[in-house]
């Protein structure tokens, strides 16, 4: 499932985050790359332990926690500490698949990467190139969203960031270990949840809506790993 989550950040949060990122001290992004990614990764990242990165991570975590779309689509068991990157001057990240298991840079806990997210802090007109390209069974999807919006996609997807030829692309990236390991099952539950919400808005808590809600929770009970 590839899902666009609009307006994850408020106007005030976005302005504050952009100010912090504009004054940040960046490091070579290859410091956190896996073995395969070392050859294709060329960007800048914030050291996760830095005060600026910690403040920004807390801001993003609070935004994720209040997002019904993220909660329904990811069904998070644990989300790794969000991290932050910058692409400029031709920087790029070639085709790769995210490591299946990662270590949270702050807690040190191991996390299985089921769901990947990119939250944009730069508007599309502020840089050239820099599209996130995600490949799945339906082809290639090129993503370049407004600042404050986020894209969610399966961590099993082959993906890349196209070269940024002008301006700077600022973003946050993060991984979630879902209660539902399988993407097809997560997608089914998300679609069912959205259908229930839509029906409830139209007809209220009818008998059919209650039955569908029971089906959703019984499937979640059957499949969830908690």
Phi-psi region of 194 (alpha: psi -120 to 50; beta: other; left: phi over 0): alpha
CATH 2.60.120.620 residue ranges for the chain: 3-178
Q: Which pLDDT value is given to residue 3?
A: 98
Q: pTM for the whole thing?
A: 0.94
Residue 37 has pLDDT above 70, yes or no: no
Partners of residue 176 on adjacent β-strands: 79, 115
Rounded Cα gap, residues 52 and 140, in angstroms = 34
pLDDT tens track for 159-174: 999 999 999 999 999 9
> For the domain bounded by 183-223, which CATH number is listed?
4.10.860
Q: Give the count of beta carbons closer than 10 Å to the beta carbon of residue 168.
A: 18
Question: In the prediction, which pLDDT does 32 show?
Answer: 63
Question: pLDDT of 91-147, one tens digit each?
Answer: 999 999 999 999 999 999 999 999 999 999 999 999 999 999 999 888 999 999 999
What is the token pair recorded at 162?
Answer: 């196209």
Residue 215 pairs with which residues in a beta bridge? none
* Every domain range in the chain assigned CATH 4.10.860: 183-223
- For residues 72 and 39, the answer to whether their CB atoms sit within 8 Å is no
212 CB-contact burial (10 Å; exposed 0-12 / middle 13-18 / buried 19+): middle
Architecture of domain 3-178: Sandwich (2.60)
Q: State the Cα–Cα distance between residues 103 and 112, nearest whole angstrom.
A: 9
Q: What's the Rg (C-alpha) of the chain?
A: 18
Three-state DSSP class for 222? helix
pLDDT in tens, 178-204: 999 999 999 999 999 999 999 999 999
Look at residues 157, 158, 130, 167 and name the one whose alpha carbon lies nearest to residue 145: 130
């Amino acid at each position: 499932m590839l899902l666009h989550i609009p307006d994850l950040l408020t106007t005030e949060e976005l302005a504050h985050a952009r100010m912090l990122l504009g004054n940040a001290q960046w490091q070579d992004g290859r410091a956190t790359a896996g073995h395969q990614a070392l050859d294709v990764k060329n960007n800048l990242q914030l050291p996760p332990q830095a005060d600026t990165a910690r403040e920004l991570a807390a801001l993003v975590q609070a935004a994720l926690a209040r997002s019904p779309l993220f909660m329904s689509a990811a069904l998070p068991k644990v989300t790794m500490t969000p991290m932050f990157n910058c692409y400029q001057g031709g920087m790029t990240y070639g085709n790769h698949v995210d490591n299946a298991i990662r270590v949270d840079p702050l807690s040190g806990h191991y996390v299985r990467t089921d769901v990947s997210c990119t939250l944009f802090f730069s508007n599309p007109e502020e840089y050239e190139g820099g599209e996130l390209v995600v490949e799945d069974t339906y082809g290639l999807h090129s993503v370049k969203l407004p600042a404050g919006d986020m894209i969610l996609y399966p961590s099993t997807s082959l993906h890349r960031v196209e070269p940024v030829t002008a301006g700077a692309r600022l973003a946050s990236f993060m991984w979630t270990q879902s209660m539902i390991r399988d993407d097809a099952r997560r997608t089914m539950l998300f679609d069912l949840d959205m259908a229930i919400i839509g029906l409830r808005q139209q007809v209220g808590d009818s008998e059919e809506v209650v039955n569908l809600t029971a089906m959703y929770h019984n499937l979640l009970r059957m499949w969830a790993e908690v």
